[in-house]
Every structure is written in structure tokens, then in C-alpha cells.
Amino acid sequence: MTPNPLDWRTLAAGPDASGYGPQRIVCLTEEPTEWLYLLGEERRIVGISGYTVRPPRAREEKPKVSAFLNARIDKIVDLQPDCVIGFSDLQADIASQLVKKGVQVTIFNQRSVAEIFSMLYQLAAMVGQEARGLALIQGMQRRLLEIEQAAASLKRRPRVFFEEWYDPHISAIAWVSELIGIAGGDDCFPELAKEPMGKGRIIADGSTIVARNPDIILGSWCGRRFRPAHVRARPGWAGVNAVQNDQLFEIKSAEILQPGPASLTDGVEQIHQIIMDWSQLHA
């Protein structure tokens, strides 16, 4: 592997934090890429996931080296990264292959809002941007508190079903469920949100969802376009409040299923607006 171009003697000569931490980073998911751009440290990124859409310029500037469950290991090694950053046990196989080739790998496994903030702070510190990262994090936290306070004024909180996949039905993961609560809604399946894997959040029988009668249905089908007509056509769903009142909305996966800046900003803002609009219809 290529050593850090700045040795400890060079670093000791001045206070510039830019030389600390990994200098050649490969991001196997979108959230570290977006965060490094927000921190002004995009120069460190040498490879990204092919699913990256935030920020849009990353797709133009950085080579794509991975999907989510697989990666071009040889291409990553050729980029001579001094750190590869991934997400969750689902990328354990990729991480194992890279480690065996002598690559340093950091796998985060954030599943809750608090864990997302922790990941952002740790990554900011890794690249010498602890102060800037903390300022950005605190700004996001203040906005979440504002949203939560605005939602507290609702006379009634809507029941919200978040559908991560449709066949079989998969409900909201922890951070999504938490953001629904912050935004003013009540997750229809809070008991499933604690399950880290999608298979643990499968709802095999759609009638279970019908029985909980969601007021709002949010669809984010893991990169596939959400189709409200598909939901309306489901047998037995015609009487569901969300279907009757046309409260079927898409939140793009990149804006809510990415456990990073996007979900804490654009994702929760969209959910909050949908809920506040719903509240006006039911004032």
C-alpha cells in the first residue's frame, strides 16, 4: 500500500489538520461521500459507490467501484486507498476481501438517529474536521428539534406506514421510524423498527397493514420507483384511510434510506411537510 505522503515529521511542523487521517478514501456507500463533500474534504475521495447520487457532482468526479453487496476489489486495490469506508454487516464480505489484501477498512453500522450522528462525528474527526463536523451536526440537531416542536402542536398524529419494499412488504428501519416520530407521525409498526435486517421487518400478510389502517403511506422501494396505483390495487386496501384520502407519497431512497446527512435533512423535511399538509386536511 502507498504510505501517507506526509510523514509524522512533516505533520509535527505545523498545525494544518489536512495532512492527518486517511488521504485516499474509497466510499462503498453514499453517506460518507456526501458527508466528506459537506466537510470540504472531497479531495480525499478516490472511489465511490455506483449508487451515489448525492452530491450530483460526485458521479462526475469520482470513479465508481462498487454496488452495495459487491465491489470491484481489484479496482479498489489499484486505487491504493489508505481507508475504505462501508456500512453494515451486509458489506462484511467486501470488507473481508479487502482486509485480506492489506487494505484498511472501517465499517460503520449506524441504525438509529443517534448512531448516524455518532458516525458523522467520527468520520469528521478521522479527516481532521472535528470542529466543522460538530457545527454541521449541531445545525441538523437544532432543525430536528424545531420540527419536533412544530409537530407537538398537532391535534392528532397520523398513523404512518413506511414501505421499504412491496413484495414482501418491509416496514421502516429504526432511523426512519424515529424520523417519522420527530416529524409528527406514529409508525404503524414500531415493534419492527428495532430489527436491523430487512428480513426481520417483513410483513408477510398485507391484511396486517390494513388492520392498522395507516393515514399516510410512504413508499421508498430501495431505488425502484414507488407506484401509488400499485398500492390502490391491492386486494382489501380500498378502505385504508391513506388510500381513500390519496395520502400515498414517495420519498426517494437516496433521501431517506441513506443513514447519513440526507435522511436527517431532506428526508425528514419531506415527511414533516406531508404530515403538516395532512393535518390541515384534518383540522
In a domain, 144, yes or no: no
| Single residue among 77, 109, 141 that ends a domain in this structure | 109
Domain match, 104 and 177 both: no
Residue 170 lies in a domain: yes
Is residue 134 in some structural domain?
Answer: no
pLDDT range class, residue 9, cuts 50, 70, 90:
low
For residue 233, pLDDT over 80 is answered with: yes
Residue 147 placed within a domain: no
Reported as a pLDDT band with limits 50, 70 and 90, residue 3 is very low
Q: Do 277 and 159 belong to one domain?
A: yes
Asked whether residue 133 is assigned to any structural domain, the reply reads no
**Structural domains counted in the chain:** 2
* Sheet arrangement for strand 83-87: 64-66, 45-49, 25-27, 83-87, 105-108
The CATH number covering residue 180 comes to 3.40.50.1980
- pTM of the complete model beyond 0.85: yes
C-beta of residue 39 within 8 angstroms of C-beta of residue 130: no
Residues 87, 116: contact at Cβ < 8 Å?
Answer: no
Looking at residue 8, what is its pLDDT? 59
Same domain, 179 and 264: yes
Q: Which of 109, 141, 166 is the last residue of a domain?
A: 109
Within a domain: residue 2?
A: no
pLDDT tens for residues 153-175?
A: 999 999 999 999 999 999 999 99
Residues 99 and 30 both lie in one domain: yes
Last residue of a domain, one of 42, 76, 109: 109
In a domain, 211, yes or no: yes
Residues 71 and 179 in one domain: no
129-155 tens-digit pLDDT: 999 999 999 999 999 999 999 999 999
Mean pLDDT, rounded, for 261-272: 98
Alpha-carbon dihedral angle through residues 209, 212, 214, 218, given to the nearest 10 degrees: -40
Q: Is 25 domain-assigned?
A: yes
Give the domain extent around 31: 8-109
pLDDT at 13 over 80: no
User: Dihedral, CA atoms, 178, 183, 188, 191, nearest 10 degrees?
Assistant: 10
CA gap 129, 10 in Å, rounded: 19
Distance (Å, whole) CA 250 – CA 221: 9
If asked whether residues 188 and 95 sit together in one domain, one would say no
